[in-house]
Each structure stands twice: as structure tokens, then as C-alpha cells.
Amino acid sequence: MEGLSLFSEIEVEFVGAAQLQQYYRRATDAATASFQFKNRITLPSISNVSEAYIGYISTDELLRIITINPDEHHSSQRINRKLFFDNVRDFDPESEINNQMADSLISQSEAFVYRNNGITVVARQGRPTGDNFRIEDYQVVNGCQTSNVVFNERLRLSGSFVPFRLVVSDDVSFVRSIIVGTNKQNPVRDEQFWALRPFLKDFEEYVRNQPEPRNLYFERRENQYRFEEVPERVRIIDAVALLKAVVSMFLGMPHRAGRDFRQIKREFDKTLFLDDHNVKPYHAAAYVYYRLEFLFRTKRISPEWKRYRIYIMWFIARRGANLTTDISVDDQNISIISDRILNYADDEAALVSDISRFVFQLEGDLGKAGLKTDRDALRNDDILAVAKSAAQTITSTIFSGQN
């Protein structure tokens, strides 16, 4: 490259998979927009922000920001859904609040600016020229519902304005704090803020881009795939299912995985979905959840066994990895172990046979121990010992038959 005399200086930097994914997103998804922002004031300067403004803009200017083809007639415009990648939830067209917002926008358009919380846009670059702004690589971090309502009603709008805040910053941590802060003012469940975790963003793209049949659609944001054609809806895995699968399979705690999601989240918030974690065990857990759901729906295994789902996933992890002990998500051989589990999950005949043998053994052992098998009872600690004994019996039989 130096010999070509095209560059004055060449610097080589090694990056990991997560950073490479960020670069790819910026290269393929980064948007640019030009719009007028006349009615604004400058916000106080801080070290994390290049510049910031607050005020209001017309709905026509908002459409320039949120649509892919802003200069065309309103009827041919398309909303740019990639702008809401950093939102904690996607648009819900059936929400009563959004329906009321649409009615207010049309029937009392002049008062809409007073009644709406507004839009917050964060851009990596922004250049004002008088009242005209050009922003690059930006996201609508708050105001997804408002943006979509305005877009849906764009053909009937007249003289409407929305509160608007623009922040220019490339500080990832600070941007994340803006998203959390602005959304905390609205009724958002705590678990929805998991959508902001860098690991889950990377995981979403990783599982989606896996070759068939192992590709999945991780619903990081609520309603994320409502407007997208997904070949099999059963391939959509949400954060609740993923967390329960990982706790069961890779933490060896199926009895805890069956408990309330908020309780599990509080317990494992500091140990799972960390930035430096390998995505492979999480993919294996999500894929096993999908395969199990597929077998239930097609009745290859009895739907009545759904109450044992968390114990079946735990058994599949041990059986697939050819291990008689529990697995850790931090195991130094976790990539190899995850591949084994994935391969096993693809073998439907073996999967159905082994699951059936495990459940029959488990039910028999629970009956002998005088333990109940309803959902609440299966969450108790004393069930785990029986499940381990049943798994040991089945795996020993299987392994001895292979030798």
C-alpha cells in the first residue's frame, strides 16, 4: 500500500468481532439527513457532547429525518426502521396511547407540540449552517412511537410541530445514558433496557446471520419483528426465553430458570450478557429453545411435557456436550462444547428418543420420591437432585450403549 503512494501514513489496528460488527453497522446502516431547525436554543456544553440543541420542528422536517426518501411525495415515502435500532422497544400500532396520539395529531394539530414528549436524535456528526442542519450516522433514541404515528398520518398533517432535541456525540456510554434517561420518563419495564446492552446487539446480528437452519431472530426490542416477514415465527426468540435457556443449560440451574423473569434477571444481571462473553453458548441455548418449541408444536414430543422444558434443555446441554457434569458459560472450551450441542440439536431422531427417555425416567423418579410435577413444584430446589439422578441414569445407559 505504501508503494502505491495513495496514503501519507498507514496504521494497522487489530479489532475484535464486536468492534468489527460496529464498523459494519456504521458502514451499511448509517443514515444522513438535512432539515431545518429554526426554533431552537443551544444546550450547555459538556465534555461528552460536541453540540446540542432543544426546541421544536415541523412534522414535515421530522419526516425528512425519519424517512428513506424524504424528498419524494409523502405517499411514496418509507420510514427508515434502522433509525430505531437503539430504542428499547419498537412501534406498537395497537397501543391505545398511540391511537389517542394519532387522533390528537389530526383533530388538534396546533396543540400537539404541547402534549407530546418529543423526539431525541443522537448523531455522531452534525453540521449547522444557519437554520439548516446536516446530521450523519444518527439514531432516534427516544420518540419511536411519535415518529411512527407522524409517519402513518403524514398525508393528513397540516401545521403540526413536535418537540425536538438534537445531541451530537460519539461517546457510546454517554449516548446509552441518554437513552435510559429519556425512556425512564415513560412506562418502560426494567428488562426492556437490556436491549441497550452491546452484547445483545451483537448477538442479535450473529444469530440472524447464521446459515440455515441455525439462523434465529432475537427480539431484542419489543415488537421488533411486527412489520417484518420472518419465515418461521417460531424462530423469534425474546430475552425472557434466552435468559431462561442460558440459566438452565450453562449455569446448571433449571430449577431457578423456571422462576419469575424479574427475579432471575436480578440474580444473574451481573453474570450474563457481558460485553466480553462468547456468543456461541448463547446461540446454542437459543437454538435448543427453538428446536424444543418446534418439537412441541409438531407433536414429535408430547406438548404435556412443556412443564419440564427447563429440565429438558438442561439435559440436552449435558447430553449434547457428552458431559456428565454441568457446563459453565465461561468454560475455556465453550466454543467446542457449543458446537457439539448445536450438532446434537440438529439430530432430530436422537433428540426425540433421548428426551422421551429422560422425561419417562424423571417422571418415574419424581413419583417414587413423592414429589409433585406441577409448574410451581418444579421450581423447587429438591427437584434438581431428582433430575440429576434421572439424567445420570439415561446418559450412563446411552454412553454404555455407544461403547
Quick: pLDDT tens for 95-151: 999 999 999 999 999 999 999 999 999 999 998 999 999 999 999 999 999 999 999
What pLDDT does 306 receive?
95
Q: Is the pLDDT of residue 186 over 60?
A: no
What pLDDT does 158 receive?
81
How far is it, in rounded angstroms, from Cα 277 to Cα 201?
A: 13
| Lowest-pLDDT range of 8-17, 36-45, 96-105, 270-279 | 8-17
Q: Is the pLDDT of residue 325 over 90?
A: no
2-28 residue pLDDT tens: 566 666 666 777 666 666 666 555 556
Q: Is the pLDDT of residue 403 over 50?
A: no
Number of Cβ within 10 Å of residue 223's Cβ equals: 15
What contacts 119, CB < 8 A, 6 or more positions away? Answer: 62, 140, 142, 143, 146, 147, 162, 163, 164, 165
Burial class, 121, CB count within 10 angstroms (exposed 0-12 / middle 13-18 / buried 19+): buried
Burial class, 96, CB count within 10 angstroms (exposed 0-12 / middle 13-18 / buried 19+): exposed
Asked whether the bond before 213 is cis by omega within 30 degrees of 0, the reply is yes
231-269 residue pLDDT tens: 889 999 999 999 999 999 999 999 889 888 888 888 888
Query: Helix, strand, or coil here: 166?
Result: strand
Closest to 26 measured CA to CA, from 173, 124, 134, 108: 124
How far is it, in rounded angstroms, from Cα 379 to Cα 47?
A: 49
Query: Helix, strand, or coil here: 245?
Result: helix
Give the β-pairing of 119-129 and 161-168. Answer: parallel
How far is it, in rounded angstroms, from Cα 7 to Cα 141?
A: 37
Is residue 248 within 8 A of residue 310, CB to CB? The reply is yes
What contacts 297, CB < 8 A, 6 or more positions away? Answer: 234
46-80 residue pLDDT tens: 999 999 999 999 999 999 999 998 666 667 789 99
How far is it, in rounded angstroms, from Cα 269 to Cα 291?
A: 26
Taking CA atoms, 106 is separated from 58, 145, 342, in Å, by 14, 16, 52
State the alpha helices, DSSP H only, in 34-81.
Answer: 59-66
How far is it, in rounded angstroms, from Cα 214 to Cα 235?
A: 9
